[in-house]
Structure 1
Amino acid sequence: MRLFKAILLLMLLVSIVPTLMVGWLSVSHTRELLVRDAQELAQERVKQLRLKAEIFLGEPTEAVMGLARVPDFFALPLPAQQTHLASVLSQRREVLAITVFGPDAKRLPGLQAFSRHDVSPTDLASHEERSRVLLEGGTDGPRYSNAVPVSGGGPVVTLAFSVGEPIKGFIAADLSLAGLRHMLEQERVGSTGFAYLADPRGHLVVGGGGVASLGGDVSQRSPVAHLLRQLASTPNAELFHVGNFGEGRDAVVAAYTVLPETGWAILSEQPVEHAYRQVETMEQRILVGLGAAILVALVMAALFSRNLTRPLKVFTDGALELARGKFGVEVKIPQRNELGELAQTFNYMSKQLLAYDMENRGLYESLEKGYLETIVALANSIDSKDAYTRGHSQRVGDVAVEIGRELNLTERELRQLQYGGILHDIGKIGIVESILCKQSKLTDQEMAIMREHPAIGDAIIGPVSFLGAVRACVRHHHERWDGTGYPDRLRGEDIPLLARIVACADTFDACTSTRPYQKAMPLEKAMEILDALTGAQLDPQVVAALRRVLAKKGVRLEGHRLPVKLAS
């Protein structure tokens, strides 16, 4: 009974304590990952919004500044100058007004054009006033005013720049921000978040839902206040920040960056409770799972302890007999479970103990072979998911060995190449089938997931000691000679030679086998592709070795010559 209690307590400790530790670590680690994912999402969103905003401003700005590139614009006849102004207005709907000033910053008669027929005197005076303020501030390059509303209702910003060196005159234009406002209003930041633009004074430029109208003061919003402090301390730095702002019900996950041309900040906000909703859901699920695991552990520990203690004495007696040299002794365990199987194994062991000593070496080799065959079967299972890639891994291994033999590698290295070619895509077993077998082009997010397979494969074969040298093939077969590959962005000969060979064999098989996106290429066409990739993606020495392999097999490749000297 004491042994039963001891085993029961031990089983509970062994099962519950690690379960609690793993649960706690899972909660903390997963929470950290989910929080980081939410912040990275906000960061990526702001980057995309900044790019869109730069395009919205850049295209009409480029159209207006094209007037400065008209040869001798200020020397042209007035009708020709007016034609150029009208052309810009007709080409870019975002350009609402253009005014040409002389070198003395005074408006030139007849060189003012508007996209509307009726322009109020107030809007006209406001346009000229904003233009002159910009001209007084200097004209080293294009300058932008603060955003203001116009009679039509949409926000506008005034652009001004000088023409010629020495200065022959100035050009100013009003640009509509309606398209930029519409883009931000359409931007989805979760279910309750929004994005907006603020100027260096903390005033709203344009924005989505949840913020005040144009010109409203948003400087008291936590992200904007943080931005203004950063601008005060580092006015000329390229700012970017993402994190949690505010407290309590006003807490938000936000990110911001600054548009260098205008000095405006683009911000994205989402309430913390919505941004981190996945965190709460994850924590609840893990706690429920922990409770269920503890209950199951309690019941299973009791049953296991009771079933284990009963046959222990029988095993003890049999082991003592075996220790005394009485080989062939048998134990009688009638149970039809693992203990009964253990009794049969014990009896077989007792009878075959002497023979095992002679078979140890063969057993080790068989174990190694079996381990490898299991992993190869996993690799083949990846190929079998897609009829177009069936047999791909085996072919890559065969081609890699041929290249390695041409490079005078040792038999051990050739064997490692064979394994590396077969196992190079083993990590795809960790990629969801919807991405792995997708027939159309992968999205950026799907491609990022697909690019995790070398690291996954490395982790799979890492515990297998005799495959240690093969790990380089699995992890680095997507590295590029120019250093732009993945996952470690290795460059040139920093990439292990075996991995460079597998990468070449992989590319060659991809070209010469039928895929959903291409038919199998002739060998000559495939080698043209590999030649084009030489020095950028593939090692020139390895590609040259493959060419020699094909030549020795009687394949004629017209129009190609080997370089006189290969890189060492």
Structure 2
Amino acid sequence: MDKHPVWRLRILYVFLLILIVISVVPLSFYGIKMVESNQDTLKTQEEELQTITSKSLAQEIGLYMENTNERLKGFFEATQTTVAKIPASQYESDPQLRAALEKFVTDQPQVIFVTVVNTDAKGPLAGSYNAAADVFLAKLLERAFIAVRQKNNFESNATTITRQGKNESAIVIARPLTVNGKFAGMVAAVVTLQHLQERLEDTWRTASRLEAYVVDNSAHLIASYDPNKYPANSDMANVPVVQKFLAWRGGALASETLPFTLQVGNQSVAMLGTYSSVQSLGWGVIVQKKLSDAYFSVHQMIRETMWWGVLAIILSLVVGLVATKSITRPIEQLRRTARSIANRDFTQRADVRSRTEIGELAATFNTMAEDIQHYIGELEAASEQNRQLFMNSIEALASAVDAKDPYTKGHSSRVAQYSVILAKEIGLEEEDVTKIRISATLHDVGKIGVDDRVLADERRVRNHEAAHGDGLRNRPAGQGARRDAARHPLAPRTVERQGVPGRDRRG
């Protein structure tokens, strides 16, 4: 095995990555292209919706106010004819005039208050709303009286009133009354714009949160979809789409849609707005929507694409884990078996039952392992046979050496035996013990080339050698050593070999 193993990427991760790429990349590409295409389409549709809505509201408001003004004009003319026959001091008590006022407010529900006053600002009144008790309306009626005294028509800005617990917009319209060319009084009416407000509220509900409101040519709010959020007479000059309308000075002939940023408190909100002009009144109908709401479908598609992408990744991981396990499991089995064989364990086999190419590879691998194990067995048997032949040759050679002298019979085997005992005692490895056994067996192999006459020489040993032999004889513990020394092949035959079995004593 390598001393420095190389880092390798698991095939499982490769399969999972491929599955994720195959499943997510096409979905992401499709989603991005669809979002880009639908974003342009939805933007165009939203602009068309705002244009159609603003134009429709402008036309409807123009017709409604034109109809209201016509009815007021007819009423004012009728009142002018009536008061010409009545002394100014009798306006307040004249039953015919009072009946005419009551009939008019009954026939025209948008008129919630009407009054006719003489030069002293006294006269009858009628309607479902007591304007005289409303501070703001009372102030407007006073301003109207001042204006008509100068023989000017008066039409106020919209103001907010509270009727039946709800806020709504209303305007004051007044005309001077003259008799014989002289100022004789004032006829005034308070017209509620509740119908316009309800129409704007319907637009909010039905046109996907489209904010709609009406401004005059001074950027003052006339009516809105939410009078609590946008009270009547509010200054809307800071809204960019209103500024665009004001640039035409109330004379815009067409509608225009534009994106802009609306400052709401400390936040900047991206908006898309459209204005259309009510040309007969000089008013402007504004519709606007947050870009996040205008392109909600696009954002929803992006979110859905992301969720589908996440789901595709999860499904790919699950399917990939299940699918790749059937592939990586046999490969892992092959890897473990190959590693075992690399560690010289040739008994291992790859247990792979797959019918794919991996199964065929595993079967071939097992056949190869069996062949290797068989060859190794044959090599081991041959090696053992050679070793045995070698040992037999060594023992035969040692026996041949010992056979040259009958006194040295078994000497080489005994030396080998003692040498092995000593080698094991000092803890040598088995291989070293075998080498020592062979060396000890062959330690006297040199005698095979020595002349027999030399080996059979029976001359006496020298004096110091004899003395050494006497020392051995005199030691109690030296009996075994004396026997071994007597068996030594080089020991002279004249040495006394007392107590040595199989030897005759010679002198």
TM superposition score category, shorter chain reference: 0.3 to 0.5
TM-score, normalised via structure 1 length: 0.39
Larger relative strand fraction: 2
